[in-house]
Amino acid sequence: MGKNILIISASPKKDGNTSLLVEWVAAAARSKGADVEILNAGTMAFKVSGCTACRACQKLKDYICVIEDEGKLVLQKMISAHVIVMATPLYFYGPSAQLKVIFDRMFSLYKWDNAAGTMRTPLKGKMLALVLSGFEDVGLDVVEKPFRMTADYTGMMFESLLVPNAGVSGEIRNKPGVKDLATAFGKKIA
Ligand SMILES: Cc1cc2nc3c(=O)[nH]c(=O)nc-3n(C[C@H](O)[C@H](O)[C@H](O)COP(=O)(O)O)c2cc1C
């Protein structure tokens, strides 16, 4: 049975560079037998603008964010995925705000016992994969770092596809070699 891959596509541009990269990665992963689901977080209606640090999730037995919106469903789907792909454009040397909302609300997928110094999470053992493009060739490594560090902290494997010089939305289609890189990446994570 193939891997279950969840792609969180977090650009507001429907036919932009992130969408194209996601399309290529997904097609390649499916060609290897993976079951791929793509969620468009870039256009989701979030009830709040980020994690509210209410810590209500920490009082629950289950790994659930208490904020009732589409973001909650994305988090739930992460639990059953083998591979979680986060795809984002580079926005001022950070990920898109839409992805950051999901990323911070991942807090609900951890249970900390500060007194005992322990942390449990169903994300452990999964793979986190970052797909990132920018107009220039500056700062993609900066954005990669918090994702890689979070994967390390969580006990997840980490892979990344960084695409510099991607042009403005949609121009990535005409950049030589990028589709091949995305295809190879899709096969690798599957
Ligand atoms: C708000 C905003 C901020 C951006 N900031 C950067 C940046 O700091 N560095 C960079 O190289 N490109 C930057 N870009 C360009 C995008 O990262 C790049 O064109 C990306 O491939 C677009 O992906 P998309 O079509 O999925 O939106 C920015 C674009 C926007 C709209």
Is residue 45 over pLDDT 80?
Answer: yes
The reply to whether ligand 1 has any atom less than 6 angstroms from the CB of 175 is: no
Q: What's the mean pLDDT in 100-117?
A: 97
Ligand 1 site, residue 169, Cβ cutoff 6 A? yes
Residue ranges making up the domain that contains 52: 4-189
CA-based nearest residue to 17, from 177, 134, 139, 96: 134
Q: Residue range 95-110: average pLDDT?
A: 98
The closest-lying atom of ligand 1 relative to the alpha carbon of residue 168 is: 19
Is 16 touching ligand 1 by the criterion CB < 6 Å? yes
Amino acid 75: pLDDT: 98
Mean of the per-residue pLDDT values of the chain: 97
CATH code, domain carrying 92: 3.40.50.360
65-75 mean pLDDT: 97
Count up the domains in the chain and report the number: 1
164 Cα: distance to centroid of ligand 1 (angstroms): 10
Instruction: Say yes or no: CB of residue 56 within 6 Å of ligand 1.
Output: no
- The one-character DSSP state at 91 is B
140-183 pLDDT, tens digit each: 999 999 999 999 999 999 999 999 999 999 999 999 999 999 99
In short, whether 95's Cβ falls inside 6 Å of ligand 1 is no
Instruction: Kindly state the average pLDDT of the residues 27-35.
Output: 98
Please state the pTM of the whole predicted model. Answer: 0.98
Q: Which residues contact 115 (CB under 8 A, 6 or more apart)?
A: none
Any atom of ligand 1 within 6 Å of the Cβ of 136? yes
Pocket test for ligand 1, best of 14, 90, 178 (most atoms within 8 A of CB): 90
Q: Which two tokens stand for residue 4?
A: 């279950």
Task: Write out the H or E segment, with its range, that includes residue 128.
Answer: strand 127-133
Burial per residue of 12-33, b for 16 or more beta-carbon CB atoms within 10 angstroms, e otherwise? bbeebbbbbbbbbbbebbeeee
Q: Is the pLDDT of residue 19 over 80?
A: yes
50-72 average pLDDT score: 97
**The pLDDT of residue 21 is above 90:** yes
Residue 1 has pLDDT above 90, yes or no: no
- Atom 15 (ligand 1) nearest CA: 135
- Can you give the pLDDT at residue 183? 98
Confidence class for position 135, pLDDT limits 50, 70, 90: very high
| Cα(166) to centroid(ligand 1), Å | 9
